[in-house]
Structure 1
Amino acid sequence: MQAVYRIGGLPEGAPHASAAFHADHAAAIADRLADAPESLVIVFPRASYDHRGWRRAAIADLARAHAPVRVNGLVDGDPAAMARTLAFLEMAKGVTGQLLAVDGAAA
């Protein structure tokens, strides 16, 4: 079973967005992980390139901390491409700790 957690709007600046992610979403993500899904995909809204670093670090840290649950990040994009990517991640048993951008999203 794969769980999906969608992040709502975050501040534009990368440092503020990172702080908001950890302050506003960490508890809900921990709750999802406590249910022990096979996989959790965290869907981020599109953002500029400077968000990539903190997002990658957050996903990698969550994946290491919650193994064997697979944790990946996905940057929102075209709905059809998102559906295909979510289906791929559900079947890709060896993929964890990755941040994937769909439809050319910058971060």
Structure 2
Amino acid sequence: MRDNAIVEVTGLPENPLDAAAKFHSEWVAKVRGYARSGDVVVIFQPADHTHHAWRLAAVQELARESVPYRVNGVEGDHMQDVSETLFYLQSADGVTGQLFTMR
């Protein structure tokens, strides 16, 4: 079983373009830092469908550059759902570059 570093992303704007810009300027370096030494799960607050594409692309690219470690994302604010996904990811060694949506 592997442990995951958890990065809870907060403070992103509602506009998807602005949110993507802020994520890349303020959060990517933090995720990369953790991903140099272990697996990372990025937790995003819920947002509408217009945010899904940029979030997925960011998680996928961070996962590619972090091999052999894994990077995955979770969208949600229901802690039980997020916790269950984190538990799953601890034992799912082959899962990386995924964005799980809890709705």
Q: CA offsets per residue over residues 40-95 of structure 1, 9 Å max, x none?
A: 10000111100000001000001111111111000023211111110001110010
Please state if 1:2 is matched with 2:8: no
- In structure 2, distance between residues paired with 1:63 and 1:31: 13
Paired with 2:94 and 2:29, the residues of 1 have a C-alpha distance of: 26
Q: Which runs of 5+ in 1 are unaligned?
A: none
Report the aligned-residue RMSD: 0.9
**TM-score for the superposition, normalised by structure 2:** 0.93
Partner of 1:53: 53
- Please tell me whether the aligned partners of residues 6 and 42 of structure 1 are also in contact (alpha carbons under 8 angstroms): yes
Identity %: 36
8 Å contact kept, 1:41–1:71: yes
| Aligned pairs, number | 101
Deviation at 1:9, TM superposition (A): 1.9
- Partner residue, 2:30: 28
CA distance in 2, matches of 1:59, 1:11: 18
Report SS of the residue matched to 2:74: strand
What is the alpha-carbon distance in structure 1 between the residues aligned to residue 68 and residue 33 of structure 2? 16
Query: What are the within-5 Å matches in structure 2 for residues 1-107 of structure 1?
Result: 1-34=3-36, 36-37=37-38, 39-102=39-102, 104=103
Once residues 16 and 80 of structure 2 are traced to their aligned partners in structure 1, the CA distance between those partners, rounded to angstroms, is 27
Question: What are the ranges of 5 or more consecutive residues in structure 2 without an aligned counterpart?
Answer: none
CA distance in 2, matches of 1:55, 1:86: 18
